């Protein structure tokens, strides 16, 4: 664990259980995937206080999970750029894998650090253990976290608490739980892999595809971060009718779901970003490669309007659009009537989940990232791009023809355990 991560865990551990002095630790070790931590004591009394483990995210957020000696559990979040008011609580809505949200409260314990006491309910704990993704919405901002191995993390934290309470921190070692020995399979139990090893879901991969668009003549292109998340091996990109080329991942913004890649070569035609924001009711065109190989090998074109200037839970970084999008459209350009980029296609509302919750099947409720977030991302990545204030409206066919020169199919092999949103 790096020094900054250790400092965050120590500070968060100190305050979260009401101590004014810093906590000391970690004693022993917890190593579950990217989660690192151990046991901690009150630095004033030397008494055991809690077990904790944390992980860093590309967004700069350090995320910590803690269980106290009394069995209570909390989440902690820290970011070096935050400027919070200690003691001034605020509401947070947590959602796991798009399921029913949980309303909790964050309590800033320092200007860059917030504690979130979690209710001890079996439903919430169960969702956290099984979830692959968590979103936290608060004060107009949406934070996204990929939850890796939380199913193993919580039992290890519980074991850590139990072992330290029983034997003390002096005997703390590796808190990893013993792995059950596999039961030998009968000779006729089924076909084995060619390498003689049992087939494992974690070893399987699937084809993951999405869409991207060129923004610089040097081959920089934009897509969604989730389009390239979980990719193993090379990420490929190709314009319609051209051979695929290896893409280089330049940077990504997990919070705003944006990724910047680069394809070798120099390009004459690139997408121009609309200078003025679109308004409710404006016509838009979505370009992308949905259901690649099932529907068509060419990109598809759908039209609609801007339905709302905010996304789910009034998230103002997003537009709600009526243009139809499907898996594979993610990361594609949302174009205005002038043919300029008005947003980045990001997601569609899960009709099945909404139908189960409301009894109604939603239609044409899709979302795109606004150009403000896109331009900030490109500026931070020091990538030149073109803006346009064109007012003349083009025919949809002309918009699609122009987009063909800068819209790419993006594909890779992804681990089967990853959940793709594209």
Cis peptide before 26 (omega within 30 of 0): yes
Adjacent-strand bridge partners of 91? 105
Give the 3-state secondary structure of 33-89: CCEEEEEEEECCCCCEEEEEEEEECCCCCEEEEEEECCCCEEEEEECCCCCCCCCCC
Q: Does residue 176 lie within any of the structural domains?
A: no
Q: Answer yes or no: do 232 and 370 share one domain.
A: yes
Q: What local confidence, expressed as pLDDT, does residue 352 receive?
A: 40
φ/ψ (deg, to 5) at 415? -65, 140
The pLDDT value given to residue 60: 85
Q: How many CB atoms lie within 10 A of CB 311?
A: 23
pLDDT at residue 1, rounded to an integer:
45
pLDDT of residue 338: 95
Residues of the chain below pLDDT 70: 1-23, 98, 100, 120-124, 178-203, 292-297, 313, 348-364, 416-422
Q: What are the distances in angstroms from CA 335 to CA 74, 192, 286? A: 43, 50, 6
CB neighbours of residue 308 within 10 Å: 14
pLDDT of residue 143: 84
Would residue 178 count as lying in a domain? Answer: no
pLDDT for the residue numbered 95:
82
Instruction: Return the pLDDT at 230.
Output: 84
Question: Which pLDDT value is given to residue 416?
Answer: 59
Do 398 and 253 lie in one domain? The reply is: yes
What residues contact 166, with CB distance under 8 A and at least 6 apart?
none
Burial-class residue 179 by CB neighbours within 10 Å (0-12, 13-18, 19+).
exposed
Domain assignment present for 197: no
Domain total of the chain: 2
Tens-digit pLDDT profile for residues 217-265: 999 999 998 899 888 889 999 998 788 999 999 998 888 889 999 999 9
Q: Is the pTM of this model over 0.75?
A: no
Contact 315, 328 (CB under 8 A): no
User: What is the domain-level CATH number for residue 388?
Assistant: 2.40.10.120
Domain that holds residue 251: 206-415
Whether residue 166 is found in the same domain as residue 271? no
């Amino acid at each position: 664990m790096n020094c900054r991560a250790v400092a965050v865990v120590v500070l968060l551990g100190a305050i979260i259980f009401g101590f004014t002095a810093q906590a000391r630790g970690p004693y022993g070790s917890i190593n579950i995937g990217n989660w690192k931590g151990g046991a901690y004591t009150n630095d004033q009394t030397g008494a055991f206080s809690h077990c904790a483990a944390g992980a860093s995210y590309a967004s700069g957020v350090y995320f910590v999970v803690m269980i106290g000696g009394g069995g209570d559990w909390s989440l902690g979040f820290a970011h070096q750029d935050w400027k919070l008011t200690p003691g001034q609580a605020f509401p947070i809505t947590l959602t796991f894998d798009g399921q029913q949200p949980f309303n909790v409260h964050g309590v800033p314990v320092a200007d860059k650090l917030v504690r979130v006491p979690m209710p001890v309910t079996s439903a919430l704990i169960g969702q956290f253990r099984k979830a692959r993704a968590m979103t936290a919405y608060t004060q107009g901002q949406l934070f996204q976290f990929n939850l890796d191995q939380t199913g193993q993390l919580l039992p290890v934290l519980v074991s850590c608490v139990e072992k330290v309470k029983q034997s003390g921190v002096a005997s703390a070692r590796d808190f990893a739980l013993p792995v059950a020995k596999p039961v030998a399979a009968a000779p006729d139990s089924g076909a084995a892999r060619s390498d003689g090893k049992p087939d494992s879901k974690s070893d399987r991969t699937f084809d993951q595809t999405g869409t991207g668009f060129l923004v610089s003549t040097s081959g920089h292109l934009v897509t969604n971060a989730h389009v390239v998340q979980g990719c193993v091996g090379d990420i490929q990109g190709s314009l319609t009718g051209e051979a695929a080329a290896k893409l280089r991942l330049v940077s990504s913004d997990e919070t705003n779901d944006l990724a910047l890649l680069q394809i070798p070569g120099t390009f004459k035609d690139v997408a121009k970003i609309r200078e003025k924001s679109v308004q409710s009711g404006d016509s838009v065109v979505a370009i992308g490669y949905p259901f690649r190989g099932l529907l068509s090998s060419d990109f598809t074109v759908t039209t609609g309007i801007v339905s709302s200037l905010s996304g789910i839970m009034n998230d103002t970084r997003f537009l709600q659009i009526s243009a139809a999008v499907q898996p594979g459209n993610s990361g594609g350009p949302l174009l205005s009537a002038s043919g300029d980029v008005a947003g980045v296609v990001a997601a569609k509302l899960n009709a099945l989940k909404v139908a189960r919750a409301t009894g109604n099947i939603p239609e044409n409720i899709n979302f795109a990232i606004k150009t403000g977030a896109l331009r900030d991302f490109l500026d931070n990545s020091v990538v030149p791009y073109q803006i346009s204030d064109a007012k003349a409206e083009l025919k949809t066919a002309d918009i699609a023809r122009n987009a063909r020169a800068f819209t790419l199919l993006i594909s890779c092999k992804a681990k089967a355990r990853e959940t793709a949103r594209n």
